[in-house]
Amino acid sequence: MIPYGKQDINQQDVDAVVDVLKSDFLTQGPKVPEFEKSVADYCKAEYAIAVNSATSALHLACLALDVRAGDLVWTSAISFVASANCALYCGADIDFVDIDPVTFNIGVEQLSEKLAQAKQQNCLPKVLIVVHLAGQPCDMKAIHELSVKYGFCIIEDASHAIGSRYQGRNTGSCEFSDIAVFSFHPVKIITTAEGGMAVTNNALLAQKMKLLSSHGVTRDPELFENQSTGSWYYEQIALGFNYRMTDIQAALGISQMQRLDAFVEKRNKLAQAYQPLLSELAIDLPQVGSNSYSSYHLYIIQLHESDRHKQVFEGLRKKGIGVNLHYMPIYNQPYFQRLGFKAGHCPNAEHYASRAISLPMHPGLTDAEMNSVARALAEELEA
C-alpha cells in the first residue's frame, strides 16, 4: 500500500532522541524550550508553547481567549473534528462556515454573508477558528478585516501548514490572528510522533496557555497569590491540564525543524510532478492562491462526477493506493447531528466531500509510486 502520508526519519533524528534517552531529563528538561524557540524563531512569532497534541493546543487557545459557556465559536465545515471540539470542551456553542469551492478553506464571501446575518440576529461569534486545509493558508488579511469590523478573535488551525507562507510571511507569524496552532503528528510536515504547538505575539495569552498546559501550577513568585514559605513553594492558581510535551518528542522536533524547508520544497515538487500525470483525467487538481505558498500536507483532487466517488475511492484502495478523504463536513458526524445540525448547512462543503480524494503526498514518495497512483486513477476513472 502506498500511504497518503508518512513520516521521514533519518539518523540525525534517531541520534537526537537517543541523546535525550541517555540524558538526565526525559521530560520537563531543556529540549522543550529549545524546540519552542526554534518554532517561534522560524515563524517570527514572539511566543511558542509546546504541548502533547494540536488538539490540546486548540483547547488552550480557546481557554486563553476566555471561551466559555454562552459563547459562540465558528470554524470551517471541512476540517478534522478537533477544530470544533476544542470550543465544546470550553462549554461554548459551535457553528460552521461554508468553504470556498476552489481553495476548500473558509470562504471570505461566505463568512462575510454569515457575519452580516449574525449581526442582525445578535449572535456574532466570539472566536473564529480558520483552518489552512491541506497546507494552503486562508485569505488571512480579508478575514482579519472582518474580525475588526465584527469584533471576533482569530485562531489559526495551522495543523497542516507549518512551512507555508501567506503574503511572503511564514504561517504562524500571527500578523492577522491572535494564536496559531501546529500539529506534529507523523503524517504532518514535521513530526514529534505526537505533539502540537501554539504560537502568539500576545504575552498574556502565552502566559495563560503555558500555565494551563501544566495543571495551572506556577513557581513564578510574581504570580503567587500568597506569600512564599520557602524555595520549595508553588501554587495552583488555575484549573489546568497535563498537556506537556516530553523532551524526547521535543528533541525529534528540533531535529526535524532543520529539514522543514526541504520537506516543503519536496512536497511542492511532487505537486508539480503530479500535474502532467493527472492533467488529462476527469478531475480538478488543487489550486494555490497567487499570494500563498502551500506546504502541501495533502494533495486533494476533485472528481468531475460525484456518483463515481465511492467506486473510484474503493478501487484505488484495492489497487494498493492509500487514498483518504479529508474531510466529511464536521456537522454531518452523528455527535453534531445530535446537537441539531442537518444536511444542507454548508452546500459547498457537502459538494466538496462528495468528490474529494486525497492522493499520496509525502517526501518519500517516488517517481514509480506517483506513476502507479496516476495509472490506477486513470483505470478507475475509465472503468
Q: For the chain, give the number of residues.
A: 383
Give the pLDDT score at 267.
98
DSSP 323-358: -B-----GGGSHHHHHTT--TTSSHHHHHHHTTEEE
Q: How many angstroms separate the CA atoms of 158 and 137, rounded?
A: 8
Mean per-residue pLDDT for 252-276? 98
Mean per-residue pLDDT for 58-69? 98
Paired strand residues for 322:
3
Report the mean per-residue pLDDT for the chain: 98
Helix H or strand E encompassing 227: none
Give the pLDDT score at 104.
97
Give the pLDDT score at 191.
98
Amino acid at 117: Q
pLDDT above 90: residue 237: yes
- pLDDT tens sequence across 84-135: 999 999 999 999 999 999 999 999 999 999 999 999 999 999 999 999 999 9
Mean per-residue pLDDT for 204-212? 98
Mean per-residue pLDDT for 15-41? 98
Give the pLDDT score at 162.
98
Domain ranges of the chain: 2-257, 260-382
Classify the phi-psi angles of 70: left when phi > 0, otherwise alpha if psi is within -120 to 50, otherwise beta.
Answer: left
CA 191, 35, 212: angle at the middle one, nearest 5?
95
Q: CA nearest 139: which of 119, 114, 162, 112?
A: 112
Mean per-residue pLDDT for 188-199? 98
- pLDDT tens sequence across 133-160: 999 999 999 999 999 999 999 999 999 9
Fold of 260-382: Aspartate Aminotransferase, domain 1 (3.90.1150)
Class of 2-257 in CATH: alpha beta
Give the pLDDT score at 145.
98
CA 181, 184, 189: angle at the middle one, nearest 5?
100
Residue entry with cell 517526501: 363
Let me know: does 45 contact 96? Beta carbons within 8 Å: no
Residue 383 pLDDT level (bands cut at 50, 70, 90): confident
- pLDDT tens sequence across 107-118: 999 999 999 999
Give the pLDDT score at 256.
98
- pLDDT tens sequence across 275-303: 999 999 999 999 998 899 999 999 999 99
- DSSP for residue 129: E
Give the pLDDT score at 55.
98
Residue 5 pLDDT level (bands cut at 50, 70, 90): very high
Instruction: Tell me whether the CATH fold assigned to 2-257 matches the one assigned to 260-382.
Output: no
